[in-house]
């Protein structure tokens, strides 16, 4: 009986050690998957913000500097929409065809909310500011400004969110802290960033 108990105890130890080895191997795999899956969703949201910012600048000559401004723009503003009829002959430019009356163009105003982001399922403009996976507690940071280029002030904007926030709930916190340390040593932004306050760019850092 004692021999059987020892064998069972040894089996339990072997299984436990095997699990610990397996878990240590899978930890970086889980961390990478959580990071990739979450950042994919956040990038989609950042691209929605980018679409609104670009249209806002087209109509106002500058970017919106707050989410309140973007929300109001989406809900209450309008944008011009050009309707064209007729076909441009191969021998003419569009302007020539327009001048000759072969084609016509008509501009009308349409609500922003009826045009932009219509293909986004369950889009809620009032939640645009919220960073996904933070349980509604963390907002994106948004700033606007200008940079000098060829003696001109060029409008710029930047939207930011941080890994420490959107990965706060995962189990692999040791890997997260190590990742953040490496990013700090390499002088990399510790999260996702869209646009720039120092360059006229609307690209992301992903």
pLDDT digit string (tens) for 98-117? 777 777 777 888 999 999 99
**What's the mean pLDDT in 18-30?**
64
Distance CA 128, CA 114 (A): 17
Residues near 148 by Cβ (< 8 Å), separated by ≥ 6? 154
Distance CA 164, CA 92 (A): 58
Residue 69: Cβ-neighbour burial (10 angstroms; 0-12, 13-18, 19+): middle
Domain range annotation of the chain: 38-75+120-195
Predicted local confidence at residue 11, as pLDDT: 55
Question: How many percent of the chain have pLDDT more than 90?
Answer: 68
Predicted local confidence at residue 102, as pLDDT: 79
- Model confidence band, residue 80 (pLDDT cutoffs 50, 70, 90): confident
**What's the mean pLDDT in 156-172?**
95
- Model confidence band, residue 93 (pLDDT cutoffs 50, 70, 90): confident
Model confidence at 78: pLDDT above 80:
yes
Model confidence at 85: pLDDT above 90:
no
Cα–Cα separations (whole angstroms), residue 49 to 58, 184, 200:
14, 26, 16
Distance CA 83, CA 146 (A): 34
- Model confidence band, residue 125 (pLDDT cutoffs 50, 70, 90): very high
Please provide the average confidence, as pLDDT, over all residues in the chain: 88
Distance CA 104, CA 98 (A): 6
Distance CA 50, CA 48 (A): 5
């Amino acid at each position: 009986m004692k021999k059987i108990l020892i064998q069972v105890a040894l089996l339990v130890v072997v299984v436990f050690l095997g699990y610990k080895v397996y878990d240590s191997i899978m930890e970086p795999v889980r961390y990478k998957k959580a990071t990739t899956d979450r950042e994919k969703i956040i990038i989609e949201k950042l691209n929605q913000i980018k679409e609104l910012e670009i249209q806002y600048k087209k109509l106002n000559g500058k970017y919106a500097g707050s989410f309140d401004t973007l929300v109001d723009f989406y809900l209450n503003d309008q944008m011009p929409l050009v309707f064209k009829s007729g076909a441009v002959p191969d021998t003419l430019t569009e302007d020539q065809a327009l001048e000759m009356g072969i084609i016509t163009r008509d501009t009308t105003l349409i609500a922003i909310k009826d045009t932009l982001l219509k293909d986004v399922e369950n889009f809620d403009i009032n939640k645009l500011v919220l960073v996904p996976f933070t349980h509604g507690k963390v907002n994106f940071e948004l700033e606007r400004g200008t940079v000098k280029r060829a003696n001109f002030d060029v409008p710029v904007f930047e939207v930011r969110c941080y890994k420490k926030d959107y990965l706060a709930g995962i189990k692999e916190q040791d890997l997260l802290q190590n990742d953040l340390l490496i990013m700090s040593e390499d002088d990399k932004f510790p999260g996702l960033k869209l646009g720039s306050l120092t360059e006229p760019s609307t690209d992301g850092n992903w």
